Amino acid sequence: MAIKILCVAGARPNFMKIAPILRALSARPAFRPRLVHTGQHYDDRLSKVFFEDLHIPKPDIELEVGSGSHAVQTAEIMRRFEPVLQAEQPHAVLVVGDVNSTIGCALVTSKFMLAEPFRCASGIRRRPLMIHVEAGLRSFDDDMPEEINRKLTDAISEVLFVSDPAGLTNLAREGVHDSRVFFVGNVMIDTLLAARDTAMRSTVLETLGLRAGQYALVTLHRPSNVDDPATLAPLLRVLDELGERTRMVFPVHPRTRARMSAHGITLDPSRWVVTDPIGYLDFIKLTACAKVVLTDSGGIQEETTVLGVPCVTLRDNTERPCTLHEGTNVLAGTRPEAIRAAFERSLVAPTPDRRPRLWDGHAAERIADDLLRIFEGFDAPARTV
Ligand code: UD1
């Protein structure tokens, strides 16, 4: 009998993390991975296109939760995930990242008792093993909903796979025992390295009328940047000024688009190329060919580091500090003069020729191998309780 692992994905940044994990688990006969899509993101441009671009198999289970306030969305994820555990009786649940689907499914799993216990290296288990991939990241900013999701998911997960060396320090400081922590590298970079050659064949530059190295790529979707027009309008104003120097390309997230139209914010088409959200392969091509990327995303800080493209992060903090020390990322915050200065610096800064440790395209394989060891002696159901 194989080890059944429910792998959870729900929102755009989850899909590129879950893809290599599903592949690595499927390649090992010991495992039977099953994909659960919570439906936190449901638009084709935030979900379906990633399944197509990354060849992710159709989800085995779809919860179709949709949007809502944090409480409503997280509660709906929990309410719909519990019957899945009842029906599936998995030996493990694996969640990635820091979105509401991550904490929702982790919390349900951590209190779920299996109908039949099973045996593995640590002894007899009565609950599915709770696994968190991309553990230990901390922005130290509790106003960020993802920070709450990260801390709580790590607290209730039993196996913590870490991508950024800072994660090891953070978890140790929080008193997490070493035996729960595995530094494996970055699964998002597995996907980037595997898809890079295909992505570079994308014709998105021609479609948008752009030339490599002659535009800046902008993404903005953090509630702290886009929800309040008193923050969003001046932020877009300073980016618009930079548009005097170079074309600005802006794939607009639905959250941001809604706020811009609610507050009548428009952008000058002579400076801006404004698009809907863009699929994975086209987005990687746009990133790789940009002069500079200005963003408040977490994942893009990592992708620019590996692609060697300057990144100006429009936030006061980052949970991914190795992109600052070993990559191309600069924290600019949201003050106009700081953004202008970071933009200018990024155009002349040399690109570091090293890459964060274990960001080598093999993180998911390490995860699968570590899980094989954790499940050593697996026997389901365990008969000698
Ligand atoms: C969520 C994640 C965030 C991640 C981001 C990537 C949480 C707390 N936040 O934020 O960490 O960086 O995804 O995109 O989990 N909407 C659509 N179509 C969709 C989904 C949402 O139009 O498929 C609209 C809805 O109006 C919704 C708004 O976008 O209210 C925001 O979506 P939501 O899932 O609440 O949060 P994100 O801002 O996307």
SS (H, E, C) the chain: CCEEEEEEECCHHHHHHHHHHHHHHHCCCCEEEEEEECCCCCCCCCCHHHHHHCCCCCCCEECCCCCCCHHHHHHHHHHHHHHHHHHHCCCEEEEECCCHHHHHHHHHHHCCCCCCCEEECCEEECCCEEEEEEECCCCCCCCCHHHHHHHHHHHHCCEEEECCHHHHHHHHHCCCCHHHEEECCCHHHHHHHHHHHHHHCCCHHHHHCCCCCCEEEEECCCHHHHCCHHHHHHHHHHHHHHCCCCEEEEECCHHHHHHHHHCCCCCCCCCEEEECCCCHHHHHHHHHCCCEEEECCCHHHHHHHHHCCCEEECCCCCCCCHHHHCCCEEECCCCHHHHHHHHHHHHHCCCCCCCCCCCCCCHHHHHHHHHHHHCCCCECCCCCC
Distance 254 CA to ligand 1 centre (A): 8
- pLDDT at residue 166, as a whole number: 97
CA 45 to ligand 1: nearest atom: 23
For ligand 1, atom 14, which residue shows the shortest CA distance?
12
Q: Is 257 in the pocket of ligand 1 (CB under 6 A)?
A: no
For a mutational test of ligand 1's pocket, the pick from 8, 12, 41, i.e. the residue with the most ligand atoms closer than 8 A to its C-beta, is: 41
Q: Is 100 in the pocket of ligand 1 (CB under 6 A)?
A: yes
- Residues of the chain short of pLDDT 70, as ranges, are 382-385
Q: Is 13 in the pocket of ligand 1 (CB under 6 A)?
A: yes
Distance 369 CA to ligand 1 centre (A): 33
CA 223 to ligand 1: nearest atom: 38
Q: Is 301 in the pocket of ligand 1 (CB under 6 A)?
A: no
- pLDDT at residue 382, as a whole number: 65
Q: Which of 37, 41, 132, 221 is the catalytic position?
A: 221
For ligand 1, atom 16, which residue shows the shortest CA distance?
254
Distance 40 CA to ligand 1 centre (A): 7
CA 98 to ligand 1: nearest atom: 11
- pLDDT at residue 381, as a whole number: 75
221 is catalytic: yes
- pLDDT at residue 238, as a whole number: 97
For a mutational test of ligand 1's pocket, the pick from 16, 146, 255, i.e. the residue with the most ligand atoms closer than 8 A to its C-beta, is: 255
